[in-house]
Structure 1
Amino acid sequence: MPLTIAICDDNENQIKEMRRLLAEWSADKPFALDIDEYISAESFLFSYPDKPCDLILLDIEMKRLNGMELARKLRSDGNMLPIIFITGYSDYMSDGYEVEALHYLLKPVDNSKLFAVLDRYIKRHTPENDIMLNCDDGSMHISPEMIVYCEAVGKKTHVHLQDKTLVCNMGISSMKNILPEEFIFCHRSYIVNLRFMRSIGKANITIDSGDNLPLSRRLYKDVNEKFIQFYTKG
């Protein structure tokens, strides 16, 4: 499932600005982002049971039910939905601690501060060794240990597991950046997991399944050294 963030603010221009910032933040992220918009606390409470979210960006000063009252209502119901308060007033900061808010940002929102808070949230809520992939079938967490090799196909990357292949909406260079060090380029279009390498030849690599992957001549020395190091370390 994609990450879903709700924006709750009675100012439509503020909602538009927060949507813009979220789009900027998520542009280079390896997962899909869904954004739900609410013009009042009441509309959020009405929709939330059937339309849950992972996190809410919540204004405090709203007509009728304000954001702090909404937060207290959630907490009294035992709901620990992560909340980032976004407001023009600093007077409520101590109340924010009371309802265990994730953070408190003042308007106008500094994009670097918002991005830092969101990045910390993602880091805490993604299993330490997992990566999140935005695939044709939806976003998913996956352990890198399940990946045998990755293959560039156009602007996408085919991630080959032992039992299936995932088609991911990111380039192979971006894929390499989120993989651990045991994943190496053996060709400009292929990344192989050293754990699944059986042998290495001058022009190809044989993996445990018996399949062969191409090996670039210019990468042969580096791949061979890392292959030997991986299986002789310790």
Structure 2
Amino acid sequence: MRLAVVDDNPRDREELLRWLKTALNQRRKPVEYLAFADGTSFLDAAAREPFDLVFLDIYMEGIDGVTVARTLRGFDPDCVLVFTTTSTDHALDGYRVRALQYLVKPYQIAEVEEVLEEVLSHLPPEEAVIRLHIGRQERLLAPGEILWADHFRHQIHIHLRDGTETAVRMTFGEFTELLKEERRFLVCGRGVLVNLEHVRDFDGAAFLLNDGTQVPVSRSSTESARAAFGEFLFRRGATR
């Protein structure tokens, strides 16, 4: 789940983020958290990649939250929107931009929990997660966040959609076993795996990802990779 908190008050922004992280970690939800101090930077980010859930302050300097919400709805009708505010005077505006709920400041943890319960019931079911043990910590990772992965020096280097990389000590076989039910993943070389959902093209030597990354394909896997990519595109087209 991709979540944004938009508030020009640093204390309110960080407090809400902290409570959301606590509540969602208890529910073992894999979440990408982003915080914005103004509506313009948030809208730029939302236009590049949509959010599932947005907590949006109404009273902000510059572009106010209601205007931000109207602009957002112009290109994203689906994300769940929660207004954060010191007053519910904008209830009609909230209805017009399909805000699901209000969260009134100062925040109370019980109210944050209550709003979250309602919000989560309106979100589509999330994909299953895989559990990775990194050092002494456990990380929950949604397979859809993985662009590609390679095995190097006894570690799996997992390249993620947000541009980061995480490394976990395990064999390549152990890692692919975690993803055996995921038909979108393809082993395209010795110790190399790619998520076909993020592939834009295949030139016979490498998969070109949407972010410009080239994932090499071994010569011995060229024909099987071409066939698998074609089959994936056919299946995806048939389900749309």
Normalising by structure 2, what TM-score? 0.53
Matches within 5 A, 1:126-205: 126-127=124-125, 132-133=128-129, 135-136=131-132, 138-139=141-142, 164-165=177-178
CA contact (8 A) 1:30 1:134 kept: no
Number of residue equivalences: 142
Normalising by structure 1, what TM-score? 0.54
Structure 2 portions without partners, runs of 5+: 133-139, 145-175, 180-240
Map Cα deviations across residues 34-66 of structure 1 (whole Å, 9 max, x no partner).
210100001111222224321100000111211
Q: Secondary structure at the match of 1:31?
A: coil
- 2: CA distance between counterparts of 1:59 and 1:46? 17
- 2: CA distance between counterparts of 1:134 and 1:109? 33
Structure 1 portions without partners, runs of 5+: 142-162, 167-234
Q: Considering only aligned residues, what root-mean-square deviation do their CA atoms show, in Å? A: 2.6
| Identical-pair percentage | 28
CA contact (8 A) 2:4 2:55 kept: yes
More displaced stretch, 38-47 vs 77-86: 77-86
Structure-2 residue corresponding to 1:63: 61
- 1: CA distance between counterparts of 2:4 and 2:141? 19
Cα 1:132–1:78 change in 2 (3 A) is: closer
- 2: CA distance between counterparts of 1:79 and 1:32? 23
- 2: CA distance between counterparts of 1:71 and 1:27? 27
Map Cα deviations across residues 130-165 of structure 1 (whole Å, 9 max, x no partner).
774352372259xxxxxxxxxxxxxxxxxxxxx944
Cα 1:132–1:28 change in 2 (3 A) is: farther
- 1: CA distance between counterparts of 2:76 and 2:23? 30
CA contact (8 A) 1:5 1:33 kept: yes
Structure-2 residue corresponding to 1:45: 43
Segments ≥4 residues shifted beyond 4 Å: none
Cα 1:53–1:103 change in 2 (3 A) is: same
Larger Rg: 1
Matches within 5 A, 1:69-108: 69-77=67-75, 79-108=77-106
